[in-house]
Structures are given as C-alpha cells and as structure tokens.
C-alpha cells in the first residue's frame, strides 16, 4: 500500500509568535466518510471495568481526562484531538518491512484516544500508547469497508512545553523528543538516529531479520522502512512540501499560518479525490499554564471550504450536538460479524449544512468566492 494520506504539524518557540505551541493536522480519509467532533468529560471508573474500543475490549483505568476528538464517525478512537491538560495527538498511517496485516486489535486511532484520556503530558502519552501497544497490539481494518485497509502508526504528540514523535512497526517503536522549532510528519518513517526512547528489543528484532548488521549507526527510518531517508526527503512529497511551508513562516508561525498550510492544495496537503481531507484541527497552546488552549476543528471536509470552529475546555460543557453523528449502538454494522455489510447514514447536522454550502461554492463562482472569503474571516 503506497502512503496516501494525512499530514500532522507542530511548531514550538522560537518558531512561533509569542510563547505558544501550534499543533495542526489534516485527516485524509475516504471521500464518503463523515468525521465528527465530540467531547467526553473526565470520568471515574470502578476497579475491574472494561472499555470497548473499535474492535476489542481492554481494561479501563480509574480516571480518564476530558477530551475533544475529531474522528471517523464509525469508530471508537480518533484521528486527532486534545485533552484538558492541553495534550494534543494526531496519528499517521505508515508502512514498512513488517506486515500490517494482523488480527483485530487496537487501531492507531484507538491509541490516539487512549493516550489523550490517560496522559497529562506528551511524554506520558508516549508511555501510555507504547504500553498498550505492547500489551494488546495494533491491527484491524482502518476503513468502514471489507477491503481490510491496514497500517502501522506514527504519532505526533505535544503539550505546553514540548512535542514527541512516536513511530511504530507492529509492537516495536521508537520515540524522539522535540523541544523547539517545528516538525511535521506524513506517511513515512521520519525518526533517524536521534532516538530518545525505544522498545527494548527493537534493535535486536531488526538484527534478527537481517535489516541491520548491529555495527553501523542505527537509523530507525532506514532499518524499518521500505524507503531510505533520501526517499523521505525527496522533492515533491507532502512531507517535504509541508516542511517548506513551515520554514517559510519560521519565527512567525501562528494559528492562521497553520490553517493556511492545512488549506494548501498545491502541496497536496489539502487532499482531493478518493482520499480527501475530511477533517482538520489546529490547536494554540500557550506555554503559560494559566492561559487556556484553544482547539479549532472543521468537522467537515476540505478546510478551504470549512470554518475552523474554536473549542476551549471549561466547566459544565454541553455535548457538541451539531457535530455528533447518529449512534446505532449494537445494530451498527461495525459491531456485527461479518463486519461492514452495510453503511448507515452518519451525517451530522453540520455536515449536511456544509454539503449545501459546498455545492453553492462549486456552482456559483462569484457567490462562492464571497462565501470562501467569509469562511477565512470566521475562522479567526
């Protein structure tokens, strides 16, 4: 499977304006898939309780943090989101030497949600995700379809002071701390020789497979990927284009900068076609713990034609009704085996309204231009 979707970005001081961390992600998914934005409050659980993820049930923890998630409406996990401690996580599909065609387990999107619900810092999220990965594994179709679209996962995780890049291959993983500047990830391994945490058997496994001789400097991307780092840096890739767009605004990166990057179609970051950008997120996290983080979500496809709507963690939050899809419970085709025998209507209220506006933009040039200009103004 050729990498074909998603880009995630983070910018930290001194690359940003003010003492802020800017996080952004486009979720590129099948063009007919609905992405919803949902809020779950902090919750306490009794000993022995379980949590049902997309495909498997796992042990619940005593306390989960409040989270806001942007997720494909058919599954439990999330493509991206944030929690009350201003931890932000986005994931990417990656493929490499190791097969991703395993049994149903935790999806990378489940791990995003679990990391947000259980970790109060970015580094702790790395620990949460890797421990769950080693215990339960990753696997299962990542599309609401019988085609069994599977992949390994990389994660970009940030909080108020730093970011972490976590890349996985089966149960093996490597993590790199990012303490300043900017970083972006796409659908290729990006950790090279700077490895700050790793699976204790990751190098030995690679050596046993003949991927590494045990003598040369260990480069995670080269060893575990189909492609060398030269291919990752190749001109024309979305990764390279995203890096250029960040560099262009280095020292002055703002929420508006990140939204512009996510809306960029020439680079392929704002994707069109059978796989398209179905949801986008930009978070602005002040390094000052007394200031709130602001999380912007589209909850609709194509950020160029979507308003980024702000969310702030405050007390007594109400459910996000207009961006929540219908629930089908145990009757959902995802829950029945064999899975995916039909597709119910998952469109939420905002999605339906967006479809009407998108049609107007497409068919009425002048009116469409005014609407698009208004969308840009409303987003900030």
Domain boundaries, the chain: 7-379
Q: In the prediction, which pLDDT does 228 show?
A: 52
Cα 142 to Cα 107: distance, rounded to the nearest angstrom: 7
- The residue ranges of DSSP E strands in 20-144, in sequence order, are 20-30, 35-40, 43-44, 50-52, 57-59, 63-64, 67-72, 80-83, 88-94
Q: Is residue 6 annotated as part of the catalytic site, yes or no?
A: yes
Catalytic residue among 6, 53, 88, 142: 6
Query: Nearest to residue 80, comparing CAs of 377, 278, 345?
Result: 278
Query: Nearest to residue 181, comparing CAs of 24, 22, 15, 10?
Result: 15
User: Dihedral, CA atoms, 99, 101, 103, 105, nearest 10 degrees?
Assistant: 80
Q: In the prediction, which pLDDT does 232 show?
A: 45
Q: In the prediction, which pLDDT does 230 show?
A: 44
Backbone CA torsion sign across 353, 354, 357, 358: negative
Place of tokens 């899975």: 339
User: What pTM value is reported for the model?
Assistant: 0.95
Place of tokens 């930290």: 12
Place of tokens 């880009």: 7
Q: Which residues on adjacent β-strands are paired with residue 282?
A: 24, 296
Q: In the prediction, which pLDDT does 173 show?
A: 98
- The answer to whether 199 and 171 are in contact (CB under 8 A) is yes
Q: What letter would DSSP give residue 186?
A: -
The two most distant CA atoms of the chain are separated, in Å, by: 63
Backbone φ and ψ for 114, nearest 5 degrees, come out as -60, -40
CA 98 to chain CA mean position, Å: 22
* H-helix or E-strand spanning residue 166: strand 163-169
- The CATH classification number of 7-379 equals 3.60.60.10
Contacts of residue 6, Cβ cutoff 8 Å, sequence gap at least 6: 25, 26, 27, 28, 79, 90, 91, 92, 93, 186, 187
Q: Beta strand pairing status for 172-178 and 197-198?
A: antiparallel
Backbone CA torsion sign across 205, 206, 210, 215: negative
pLDDT values of the chain reduced to their tens digit, one per residue, 380 residues: 444 668 999 999 999 999 999 999 999 999 999 999 999 999 999 999 999 999 999 999 999 999 999 999 999 999 999 999 999 999 999 989 998 888 999 999 999 999 999 999 999 999 999 999 999 999 999 999 877 789 999 999 999 999 999 999 999 999 999 999 999 999 889 999 999 999 999 999 999 999 999 999 999 999 999 755 544 444 348 999 999 999 999 999 999 999 999 999 999 999 998 899 999 999 999 999 999 999 999 999 999 999 999 999 999 998 899 999 999 999 999 999 999 999 999 999 999 999 998 898 888 888 878 878 777 767 66
Q: In the prediction, which pLDDT does 236 show?
A: 44
């Amino acid at each position: 499977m050729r990498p074909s979707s998603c880009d995630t970005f983070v910018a930290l001081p001194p690359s940003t304006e003010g003492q802020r961390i800017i996080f952004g992600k486009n979720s590129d998914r099948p063009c007919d898939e609905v992405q919803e934005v949902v809020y779950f409050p902090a919750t306490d659980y009794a000993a022995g309780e379980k949590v049902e993820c997309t495909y498997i049930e796992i042990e619940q923890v005593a306390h989960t943090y409040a989270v806001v998630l942007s997720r494909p409406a058919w599954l439990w996990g999330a493509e991206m989101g944030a929690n009350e401690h201003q931890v932000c996580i986005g994931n990417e599909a990656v493929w490499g030497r190791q097969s991703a065609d395993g049994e149903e387990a935790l999806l990378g999107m489940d791990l995003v949600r679990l990391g947000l619900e259980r970790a109060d810092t970015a580094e702790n999220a790395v620990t949460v995700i890797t421990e769950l990965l080693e215990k339960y594994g990753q696997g299962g179709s990542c599309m609401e379809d019988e085609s069994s679209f599977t992949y390994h996962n990389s994660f970009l995780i940030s909080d108020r002071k730093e970011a972490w890049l976590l890349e996985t291959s089966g149960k093996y993983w490597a993590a790199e701390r990012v303490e300043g500047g900017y970083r972006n990830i796409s659908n290729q391994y990006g950790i090279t020789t700077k490895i700050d945490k790793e699976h204790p058997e990751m190098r030995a496994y690679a050596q046993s497979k003949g991927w590494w001789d045990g003598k040369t400097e260990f480069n995670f991307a080269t060893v575990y990927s189909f492609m060398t780092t030269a291919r990752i840096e190749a001109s024309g890739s979305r990764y390279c284009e995203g890096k250029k767009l960040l560099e262009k605004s280095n020292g002055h990166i703002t929420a508006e900068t990140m939204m512009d990057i996510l809306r960029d179609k020439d680079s392929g970051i704002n994707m069109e076609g059978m796989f398209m950008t179905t949801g986008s997120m930009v978070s602005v996290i002040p390094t000052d713990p007394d200031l709130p983080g602001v999380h912007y979500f589209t909850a609709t496809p194509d950020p160029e034609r979507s308003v980024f709507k702000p969310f702030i963690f405050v007390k007594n939050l109400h459910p996000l009704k207009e961006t929540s899809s219908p629930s089908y419970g145990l009757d959902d085709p995802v829950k029945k085996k064999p899975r995916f025998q039909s597709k119910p209507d998952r469109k939420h209220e905002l999605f339906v309204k967006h479809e009407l506006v998108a049609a107007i933009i497409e068919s009425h040039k002048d009116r469409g231009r005014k609407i698009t200009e208004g969308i840009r103004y409303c987003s900030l």
